[in-house]
Structure 1
């Protein structure tokens, strides 16, 4: 669905002799994976950072050159930025189950029978990432970094394959969605299923449940912003009545700017994303329970683990990071935690130009690799303390 980057690469992984076995027990073969590479080539992996993207992200994390289309994490990745592409090779791959080139649900094609895409998990996504790196010949990574769903992938990678990287950066993420999180996802899925064009998932390209997906995005986007940021940006400001909606607002369509803004966000997502992929990926997030299976072997790898959270994040707030720290502490893995208290951007603050947070990531990645030693200027927070202290 997303327009392909001119620098995107594609490999087909998991041939018949090496199938991908999903956690559900199903197997997949000949899995196309689309990814992008930035920065200097690094065949060893020692100076490679793998970036895991969030729910509606893709492999185009930043520009390859000044005239390139912007990426989704320009504040973090690029020349001279915290994940510095003058120093590091950066790899980002579209996730399994998405709609940006890697295998995922596909709209019904002419004269074919629609087959539902199998249920996937965060662990399945990580299995595809690891196979990609194996095929590329990349060894032990400098770091795995991700935010939101990307942070879930990084946490899964840390717990099941800790030797794959020296450092793991878990940003604005969760080990297990709260009931509140599950409820918001449930509303989004219900909106998609309720759209008459959903047809049980068997819709053709260009004929999908755009209205339902748009509502799901409106609900989701509301959780990405903080109440404070919404208030500051819109207050009770009025907006012009949309074209074609009549001469004045009525009970069917409110007159406020915040409503127009959410409608705009819905239209943007519908233009580039697929409803079945949205269902597939949010389901994987709901099922994610990082510490439900044994993770004792992570301690022996002595990884350098850093968590980053935001006071204004009402989706995966500081309590989610503390839970991760508490669980890792049980097996002797200490973490450093940077908790940002001033940014008003909510969950989306992890994508924004938040100076202290970006500086903390830069210090961590640039510091000498010493297991369990916080980067300069950060603070290792005891998991059971009553509060966190800014780095």
Structure 2
């Protein structure tokens, strides 16, 4: 297991202009502020390969203190990456994704904390994923890439903690998929986590959440340019399918009341009685679908769906309560009252599974699941309070 600096991308290849089939970061692209940890033979839960070598892309902010007790791991959400703080720039297609929580003066502050965030295994912004070259032939992994789980993702994060000399995180927190990983840290490595922040997440993915993910996956797979996942060296990728998947997802990230208030039956252009007409809400969804196409990869999207669908912290452990019974730290569990994807009920069930009987915190917002990513003082206050009440 080796670490490389931010100036050189591991495994760089001279591939010329990036094909238009994907927006994934690939070796040879601008590195930005990423660093890379080379992990040999990362075990996989359920894949026939057994293990794979992984280049894990991560970023850090602040300094690890002498006592090594100020390290905070920020786990990104479904289509997030390691760039939790900072500007958009070459190598980073989007600005830091959690400005409301991470940054100077915020609950997680680089002046007080050593902040770490890594792109998950199977992702598309630096860490080894389907768009990366396969070690045997140098061609993109494509359909050959393993179907990783949340536990596999956390296993790679453990290797990163080891490499950085962090025996115990002060806090592991994140929204959505990040919250799932915070719970998995508490279940699998309770001695290495002082506190967790589970933001808009659940101890086990529900049938409703799996159903929404299934529709998104089908949208990608039915795109005629998907080619069973082997589309990287073509002139076209499954852009329509990926955009449609994001449109489906985005409706679950917002609320009916918000969409009605913002758009109602407003017309964007043309006559909606004809096929060429478009309602404003349709234009809004198309915009978000196209934005994702410009920074993500369809195969990685499918891997994220698989990881979320198979998430159950209590799987083969006697249920969630038993799985989390060895975690002795503080836990912050937060839901937003209008979230129709990860509901308030999910938060209460998750809190009930944790030792020390934490109460789920329910915050009010009209914008649903995506409220967690907004500049939201109420959430910052909750994380700040939890980060200070540590035993």
> What's the TM-score, normalizing by structure 2?
0.84
1:219 paired to 2:244: no
Local SS of the residue matching 1:77: coil
Compute the displacement of 1:163 (Å). Answer: 1.1
Equivalent residue number for residue 133 of structure 1:
161
Does the aligned pair in 2 maintain the 1:158–1:298 contact within 8 Å? Answer: yes
Structure 1 residues 1-391: aligned runs within 5 Å:
1=24, 6-14=32-40, 19-25=41-47, 26-42=49-65, 44-63=67-86, 70-106=95-131, 112=139, 115-205=143-233, 207-240=236-269, 251-294=274-317, 296=322, 298-328=324-354, 332-341=355-364, 343-367=365-389, 369-370=390-391
Compute the displacement of 1:293 (Å). Answer: 2.8
- Aligned equivalents of 1:133 and 1:353: distance in 2? 28
Unaligned regions of 5+ residues in structure 1, if any?
242-247, 371-391
- Aligned equivalents of 1:283 and 1:222: distance in 2? 20
Compute the displacement of 1:291 (Å). Answer: 1.6
Local SS of the residue matching 1:170: strand
> What's the TM-score, normalizing by structure 1?
0.84
Of the structure 1 ranges 179-188 and 272-281, higher mean CA displacement relative to structure 2 is found in 179-188
- Aligned equivalents of 2:295 and 2:349: distance in 1? 34
Compute the displacement of 1:249 (Å). Answer: 5.4
Does the aligned pair in 1 maintain the 2:187–2:327 contact within 8 Å? Answer: no
- Aligned equivalents of 2:251 and 2:119: distance in 1? 24
Local SS of the residue matching 2:181: helix
Does the aligned pair in 2 maintain the 1:144–1:167 contact within 8 Å? Answer: yes
Of the structure 1 ranges 252-261 and 129-138, higher mean CA displacement relative to structure 2 is found in 252-261
- Aligned equivalents of 1:47 and 1:7: distance in 2? 21
Compute the displacement of 1:43 (Å). Answer: 6.3
Of the structure 1 ranges 21-30 and 33-42, higher mean CA displacement relative to structure 2 is found in 21-30
Compute the displacement of 1:135 (Å). Answer: 1.3
Does the aligned pair in 2 maintain the 1:151–1:170 contact within 8 Å? Answer: yes
Question: How many pairs are equivalent?
Answer: 355
Local SS of the residue matching 1:30: strand
